[in-house]
Chain A
Amino acid sequence: MLLNQFLLLSAVLFCLGVYGVLARKNGMLVLMSVELILNAVNINLVAFGAFRTDVGGSVFALFTIAVAAAEVGIGLAIVLLMYRNRRSIDLTQADLLKG
């Protein structure tokens, strides 16, 4: 089975996601980058599960999808809250707390 190709794809997605989280200044784009990492995880889980003919990987992937949806729901609410109070979702402007 083609395991390496899937792992390579997920590694590339993971790196793109980490880069996005670290480099993006826009709240929405950071959330999307986190989603990229989570999708890399799902590809890994399903590929490993199929490779080992074990159903556990697919079950784990389903859990990840469901929980990630809840997590992103909260994330959108928090970013929306920031937009309402500041009229901007630029993360560099969130600098009231430092030291």
Chain B
Amino acid sequence: MLAQLAQEVDFVRPAIDWHAVAPELTLLAFGALVTVMDIVWLERGRRLTSSVASIALLVTMIPIITLALDGEDRVMFGGAFVVDNYALVMKAMFLLAGYVVVLLSTNYVAEGDYWENEYYGLLLSSILGMVLMASARDLITVFVALELLSIPAYMLATWRKRDLKSNEAGLKYYLMGVFASAIMLYGMSLLYGGAGSTLLTDINDAVSVDDSPSAIVVMGVIFVIIGFAFKVSAFPFHTWAPDTYEGAPTPVTAFLSVASKAAGFVALLNLLFVGFFGRDDVYEPLIWILAAASMTVGNLIALRQTNLVRMLAYSGVAQAGYMLAPLAVASDVGDAALTATVTYLLVYAAMNLGAFAIVLAVARKTRSAEIDSFKGLFGYAPGLTIAMTVFLFSLAGIPPLGGWWAKFRVMEAVIEAESASGVVLGVFVAVNSVIALYYYARIGLGMWAEDAPDGDTTPIRVPASLASALAITVALTIAFGVYPPLVSEFDVTLLAGGLGG
């Protein structure tokens, strides 16, 4: 019967550009290897897993570099999978962020008696989903990539099985995550219905023709954006973030707050700039409200946090607001909005991963992430204090650090729109930067000027992997600010029908 079916269906095998999918295939092969190592070599394999995982991420960089040197845009599967400069920049960011997360996890996972192979296997498959997401230009590809990166993350958040807090963190993340992706899927089904195709370029062609959008398209766009607002933890869909960040193992928290959030933004950028760019009358007001509310509410709640991880979670909500701001004026400034958001994502990844690396290093001694436990840090860990100050000031946006440059690009984009809504949004960004400075500086003051709470000033032993993670993030945070062309000179124009045509 199968032979009969094959005869009747006129099947043409799609041409596969192996070079274009090489990063995904490499990551997949290494992910499988990490999982199998535990079965074949047992204990002996277990000790090697974190090294294999970090090698995997570095090896995957090779095809990305060759693709970048080649410079040619590649389109596959009728436009569902696209490799352009924007995709390559984001893929490189996910791999580097993943590498730093592996460095953060090495000692934490080995000392915590966790399931090492499964941990790194799931981490790699989540990164695979993110790398795939950067190239996804089709509703089905976006959906599959989103689930591939989310499902392992639910498990990673629940990793400490016997710990009630970790259970709760995973449960809240899972329930909010599947609810959000179900709502997003409903929006996608409406978009498909409105356009008759799952390809983002076709959807843009179909939804942009009328002067006023049909009800089905309006609902589709709104549901899709709301679904991704959960993923990037924008207010009012941020409620899972602080709880999940606090309860999950800290390296996983770093991964969720940076890589997972960036993946949500990448999906949003793909959909917005390729999928329904012409429908700015629908998405711009919605994103404007999300951006303004996220930065204001995130910062105000962050002010009264006593736990550093929760504070970073709320500051992450505010940072998501800054990243959304240029998208609220996307139709006026076009590429400038895309560049501003991508720049912010790159800088945010470096500085936020760094801040979590410090939390990990200090918790090795104090066993706590309370802000009070950071008091007097300069007395016994001057190196960590200086690094933490760099990250906090960069998050606050103080020159000459990376965060300043990122905020500058966001301000530039919203002002360049030359519309009332853009200027008001710029005022929101400026006022919120001042509010945020207060709580970042408060931690800095405690570290530098106050005494250690229990008088314990034995130095902190920082393991090599954690130290190299810190070195990478400090170097990038400073380099992005001192030499901005590092992040701003990328030509990140989206290929294939981006920007409305």
Residues on A lying within 8 angstroms of B by beta carbon are 7, 10, 14, 17-18, 21, 27, 30, 34, 37-38, 40-41, 44-45, 47-49, 51-52, 54, 56-57, 59-60, 63-64, 67, 70-71, 74-75, 77-79, 81-82, 85-86, 91, 94, 96-99
Contact = CB atoms under 8 A, between A and B. Distances in A.
B280 interface: no
Contacts of A44: 186, 189-190, 192-193
B395 interface: no
Interface string B111-144: 0000000000000000000000000000110011
A42 to B, nearest CB: 8
Contacts of B172: 94, 97
A79 B147 CA distance: 19
B167 interface: yes
Given A44-B186, A67-B147, A99-B242, 18 more contacts: A37-B182, A41-B185, A44-B189, A56-B198, A60-B139, A60-B188, A60-B198, A63-B143, A74-B151, A74-B174, A75-B174, A77-B155, A78-B167, A81-B158, A81-B167, A82-B167, A85-B164, A96-B168
Contact of A67 (B143, B164, B171, B188): B143
A6 to B, nearest CB: 10
A59 B80 CA distance: 14
B196 A52 contact: yes
Interface string B175-197: 10011011101101110110011
7 shortest interchain CB distances as A-B pairs:
A48-B193, A44-B189, A37-B182, A97-B243, A52-B196, A41-B185, A94-B168
Nearest to B178: A34
A97 B165 contact: yes
A37 B168 contact: no
24 contacts: A17-B182, A37-B179, A41-B186, A45-B192, A48-B192, A54-B197, A56-B197, A60-B140, A60-B189, A60-B192, A63-B144, A67-B143, A70-B151, A71-B147, A74-B151, A74-B174, A75-B178, A81-B161, A82-B167, A94-B167, A94-B171, A96-B165, A97-B242, A98-B243
B488 interface: no
B13 interface: no
Contacts of B170: 78, 81
Contacts, number: 120
Contacts of B193: 7, 44, 47-48, 51-52
B275 interface: no
A57 B169 contact: no
Q: Give chain B's interface secondary structure class.
A: helix
B169 A78 contact: no
A7 B161 CA distance: 42
A34 B184 CA distance: 12
Contacts of A47: 193
B143 A78 contact: no
Contacts of B243: 97-98
B154 interface: yes
A94 B185 CA distance: 28
A67 B161 CA distance: 24
Interface residues of B, number: 44
Contacts of B175: 21, 30, 75, 91
Contact of A71 (B151, B165, B190, B242): B151
A38 B171 contact: no
Contacts of B465: none
B407 interface: no
Nearest to A94: B168
Contacts of A37: 179, 182-183, 185-186
Nearest to A49: B192
A59 B148 CA distance: 18
A44 B310 CA distance: 39
Contact of A21 (B165, B179, B247): B179
A3 B307 CA distance: 53
B168 A64 contact: no
Contacts of A70: 147, 151
A52 to B, nearest CB: 5
A45 B143 CA distance: 14
Contacts of A74: 151, 154-155, 174
Contacts of A18: 183
Nearest to B190: A44
Contact of A64 (B143, B165, B169): B143
B158 to A, nearest CB: 6
A3 to B, nearest CB: 9
B493 interface: no
Nearest to A67: B147
Contacts of B181: 71
Nearest to B310: A99
B44 interface: no
Nearest to A3: B193
A49 B193 CA distance: 8
A97 B186 contact: no
Contact of B168 (A34, A51, A63, A97): A97
Contact of B186 (A21, A40, A79, A86): A40
